[in-house]
């Protein structure tokens, strides 16, 4: 049995803490600790064992909390507010309820505290609150049972909430100052061509150095090429089911793109000559068949494409599904990961294919 003395145990603890606060450079999901966030020890720090932990460890713990949980921790005391306030605004994901419905509150805070805007690295959510369905607060109805009183499930009711001009102007004034954003995703529809009020946003995006960009286009007249041409470091691009105007996109634009989520029509323009390795096919409502000519364009990726996510829109028979698989197998021979999202029903037997050198169980 190995023997451990006090010095050996201290060394083990020291190494463990060192590994915790100094993650590997290639580790996914890790975030470097910003030394500028560290402040001098405060007097009230001594009243709690938690706040007596090294700030590096506290920051590492905070990075692993959700946005809502970190907000709760931030409100517990002045020490955590001073330590974590900048961390709270680094990665903002408001794409899902209930945070989606608090977008205007966030924009109001940022307009009142512009010193927080440069901390934003990731933003995913609506540009403005817009017109959306807001859940109505309801008092829970209680029913009696043998086990006592309990809350009965009830359907959620919604009402339409419309933001005013003040809310919109407050929102668009934030992004021109968010110069450190690297991952930007707008989840509400944008119609830049017909609405000049979006000009502060469209002129601000080329000044950012983005690695991830997601845009929900609401009109085929929307011009996105100027925004893409200004992003030489872009690796991840997501577009909506409405085709974008990409005719002016040059072969030298977005040279590092590896992930693309778009319609087949847009992908046929973007993929050739770029190192795209993963493609998520966005199915248009009127797209009932598969255009083999467009799929052939995907084979011109410098990746090559090894991961594909696509949809089958109400497949009518086994042959139509088999034809789709054969088209992808013919033009994407390096495919390793295939995900089929079936909009309807399909026989499990059709999945016993060997077109890609694989067989379903």
Q: What is the pLDDT of residues 88-123, one digit of tens each?
A: 999 999 888 778 888 888 999 999 999 999 999 999
Q: Quote the percentage of the chain above a pLDDT of 90.
A: 30
pLDDT band at 360 (very low <50, low <70, confident <90, very high): very low
Say what the pLDDT of residue 188 is.
75
* Position 346 pLDDT exceeds 80: no
Say what the pLDDT of residue 199 is.
82
Helices 55-63 and 78-88 cross at an angle (nearest 10°) of: 50
Say what the pLDDT of residue 129 is.
57
Segment holding 146, helix H or strand E:
none
Note the pLDDT tens digit of each residue in 217-240.
766 656 788 889 999 999 999 998
* Position 151 pLDDT exceeds 60: no
Say what the pLDDT of residue 213 is.
96
41 compared with 76, residue with greater pLDDT: 76
Q: Quote the percentage of the chain above a pLDDT of 70.
A: 66
Note the pLDDT tens digit of each residue in 318-331.
677 778 888 888 99
Question: DSSP for 298-334?
Answer: HTT-SS---EEEEEEES--SHHHHHHHHHHHHHH-TT
Segment holding 111, helix H or strand E:
helix 103-112
Say what the pLDDT of residue 307 is.
96
Instruction: Provide the whole-model pTM.
Output: 0.75
- Kindly report the average pLDDT of the chain as a whole number: 75
Say what the pLDDT of residue 215 is.
86
Note the pLDDT tens digit of each residue in 49-68.
787 788 889 889 888 888 88
Question: DSSP for 51-102?
Answer: TTS-HHHHHHHHHTS-HHHHHHHHTS-HHHHHHHHHHHTTEEE-SSTTGGGG
Angle at 269 between CA 337 and CA 228, to 5 degrees: 95
Say what the pLDDT of residue 332 is.
93
Note the pLDDT tens digit of each residue in 125-147.
887 654 444 444 444 444 333 33
Say what the pLDDT of residue 194 is.
61
CA dihedral angle for residue 181, residue 185, residue 189, residue 193, rounded to 10 degrees: 50
pLDDT band at 197 (very low <50, low <70, confident <90, very high): confident
Note the pLDDT tens digit of each residue in 252-310.
999 999 999 999 999 999 999 999 999 999 988 777 678 899 999 999 999 899 999 99
pLDDT band at 210 (very low <50, low <70, confident <90, very high): very high
pLDDT band at 245 (very low <50, low <70, confident <90, very high): confident
132 compared with 245, residue with greater pLDDT: 245
């Amino acid at each position: 049995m190995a023997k451990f003395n006090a010095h050996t145990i201290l060394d083990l603890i020291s190494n463990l803490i060192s590994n915790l606060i100094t993650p590997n450079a290639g580790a996914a999901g890790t975030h470097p600790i910003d030394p500028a966030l560290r402040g001098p020890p405060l007097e009230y720090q001594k009243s709690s064992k938690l706040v007596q932990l090294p700030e590096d460890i506290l920051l590492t713990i905070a990075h692993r909390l959700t946005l809502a949980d970190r907000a709760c921790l931030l409100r517990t005391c002045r020490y955590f507010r001073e330590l974590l306030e900048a961390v709270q605004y680094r990665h903002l994901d408001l794409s899902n309820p209930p945070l989606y419905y608090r977008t205007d509150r966030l924009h109001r805070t940022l307009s009142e505290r512009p010193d927080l805007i440069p901390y934003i690295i990731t933003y995913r959510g609506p540009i403005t609150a817009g017109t959306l369905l807001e859940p109505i607060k309801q008092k829970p109805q209680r029913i009696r049972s043998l086990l006592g009183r309990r809350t009965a499930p009830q359907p959620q009711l919604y009402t339409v909430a419309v933001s005013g001009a003040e809310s919109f102007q407050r929102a668009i004034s934030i992004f021109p100052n968010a110069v450190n954003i690297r991952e930007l995703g707008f989840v509400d529809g944008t119609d830049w061509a017909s609405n000049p009020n979006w000009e502060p946003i469209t002129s601000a995006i080329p000044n950012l150095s983005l690695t991830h960009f997601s845009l929900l286009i609401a009109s085929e007249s929307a011009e996105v090429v100027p925004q893409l041409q200004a992003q030489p470091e872009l690796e991840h691009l997501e577009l909506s089911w409405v085709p974008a105007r990409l005719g002016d996109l040059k072969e030298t634009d977005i040279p590092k793109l590896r992930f693309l989520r778009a319609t087949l029509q847009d992908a046929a323009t973007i993929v050739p000559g770029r190192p795209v390795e993963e493609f998520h096919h966005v199915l248009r409502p009127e797209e009932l068949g598969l255009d083999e000519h467009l799929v052939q364009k995907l084979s011109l990726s410098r990746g090559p494409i090894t991961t594909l996510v696509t949809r089958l829109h109400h497949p009518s028979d086994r042959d139509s599904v088999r034809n789709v698989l054969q088209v992808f197998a013919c033009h994407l021979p390096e495919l390793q990961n295939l995900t089929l999202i079936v909009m309807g029903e399909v026989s499990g037997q059709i999945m016993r294919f060997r077109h890609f050198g694989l067989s379903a169980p």
